[in-house]
Structure 1
Amino acid sequence: MRDRDVRTAVLTELDALHAGDANTRVVQEMGIWAGSVRVDVAVINGELHGFELKSARDTLERLPAQAALYNQVFDRVTLVVAERHADKALHIIPDWWGIWLASASNEQPVVLAPGRSNASNPNLQPVQIARLLWRAEALGILDHHGLARGFRSKPVEALTHRLAAELPLDLLRDEVRLALKVRQGWLGDNAPQQCKMPIHANLHPVE
């Protein structure tokens, strides 16, 4: 079982789950922490749901560090893990993460089975959510809320900290998700199974 086999199974499952849903976008290799870390698959709709994939050929060596980062950003997280890693993974990830078990035999396609339901993240960090934005997106949101004065020439880190400080968490989450849904130029945006949102011009154009 290879990583690409698990990825194909996950994308196919998500495509079926969200078929016809114009409010959902599925993105591969979505950057977090200002793009320095990437989650395998993200589903963006009324929540931000990250999917981390661990095939039978993978190890769980990086999972503790990945979990610590994902825990600050995603409303929900699901670990898609080969059955051989499942018991060990349960001791690494938090209780609110969901689990899908991946299995395959005799060169057959990977089969996914529910292992544990996910729950809402209790520890979201506003500044890390704001760091999901590109600079133009962050500035556009600041401008839309009358917060851009004195910040138009600032670096993106200053913009994200201002967003995190000035916007209530729920509003920040809404604005970030909406920006991500209409973003063009995602690294993994050529996936054939990806659910597509209509692409519009800048969400909050900077005047």
Structure 2
Amino acid sequence: MSSDKSAEALLKAAVIDRLINSGVLDESSVLVSELTVDNWTHRTDLVLANGRLCGFELKSERDSLSRLPAQIKSFSRHFEKFVLVVAKKFEKRALELIKESSGVGLWIASNNGEITEKIRPRAKSISPEASISLITATELRRFLTANGIKHQKASHRSDLVNLAKKLPPNVLADGARTAIKTRFKEVHQRFLLQRELTGSYEAIPALRRTTGSRPPIALPYEAHDLTKYPTIPTEHPDLIYAPSGPVIARSRR
């Protein structure tokens, strides 16, 4: 792991620990890492989906702020709360940038990993277009059906979007939250299990949504300690040799 990646992961772990320790992340909440928004033009470092959608953009001391103005503009449109988390050396520049974006929160990360809230984020409504953009085509079909709107199974996304626009903004915002929670719930739970074993920093890879085979969750060393189990006698009548070693065959009755 490069030093840049280490700095990014350390900051993300510190933010996650703050959210968990403060009680903001409850049983109905879901954490999402690297969520793309705005037609895949921007990727949010961290999203907390609970009663609202809260986005977090993280800038470690090794990052550049060149893309930050565009990110602030985009994330402010797509999340009901948005928090910018920056290393101490970026504090002055961050304050200058968010003055023009009302409602944006600001957290400052010190060199020892402590995070201080400089500006508290303000909740706001997001547009119907922003809510719909956070929902996939498959999720849109389920969402429209759940709200009693008929549609063709083969409808293109553009047709589904036009139908969804007929719904009230608050219904669309709730649909976006529900879709994201459902989509990432399993990954979130996998991360929490891994975090219990290794801590937030080492568990960061488990928070990434993957395709194909699921990354295995590390087990405590004791679970692999075969000395805790009795030795299988070689003369046992039901002894068989499996690929993993000698085992006792299950009896059939």
Matches within 5 A, 1:156-171: 156-163=157-164, 165-171=165-171
Alpha carbons of 1:157 and 1:32: their partners in 2 closer, same or farther (altered >3 Å)? farther
Identify the match of residue 146 of structure 1 among 123, 129, 148.
Answer: 148
Corresponding residue number in structure 1 for 2:121: 118
* Structure label with greater radius of gyration: 2
Over aligned residues, Cα RMSD in angstroms? 2.4
Deviation, 1:17, is 2.6
Higher relative contact order (CA 8 A, sep 6+): 1
Q: Aligned pair in 2 of structure 1 residues 20, 37: CA closer, same or farther (>3 Å)?
A: closer
Q: Give the C-alpha shift of residue 34 in structure 1.
A: 4.3
* Unaligned ranges ≥5, structure 2: 1-5, 204-253
Partner in structure 2 of residue 176 of structure 1: 176
Contact 1:76–1:120 (Cα < 8 Å) also in 2: yes
Q: CA deviation at 1:148?
A: 3.0
Give the count of matched residue pairs.
187
In the TM superposition, residue 161 of structure 1 has moved relative to its aligned partner by 3.7
1:82-161 equivalence runs, <5 A: 82-93=87-98, 94-104=101-111, 108=112, 110-121=113-124, 124-149=126-151, 151-161=152-162
1:113-166 per-residue CA deviation (whole Å, 9 max, x = no partner) reads 1111111236x22112111111111010111122232x4322223323431x21
More helix by share: 2
User: Is the Cα–Cα contact under 8 Å of residues 29 and 187 in structure 1 kept in the other structure?
Assistant: no
Give a deviation string over 1:28-71, Cα, whole Å, max 9, x none. 11122244422101010110000100111112111111112112
Identical pairs, percent: 27
Q: TM (normalized to structure 1)?
A: 0.80
TM-score when scaled to structure 2? 0.67
What are the within-5 Å matches in structure 2 for residues 24-103 of structure 1? Answer: 24-93=29-98, 94-103=101-110
CA distance in 1, matches of 2:17, 2:8: 14
Consecutive unaligned residues of structure 1, counting only runs of 5 or more, are: 195-207
Contact 1:27 1:189 in 2 (8 A): no
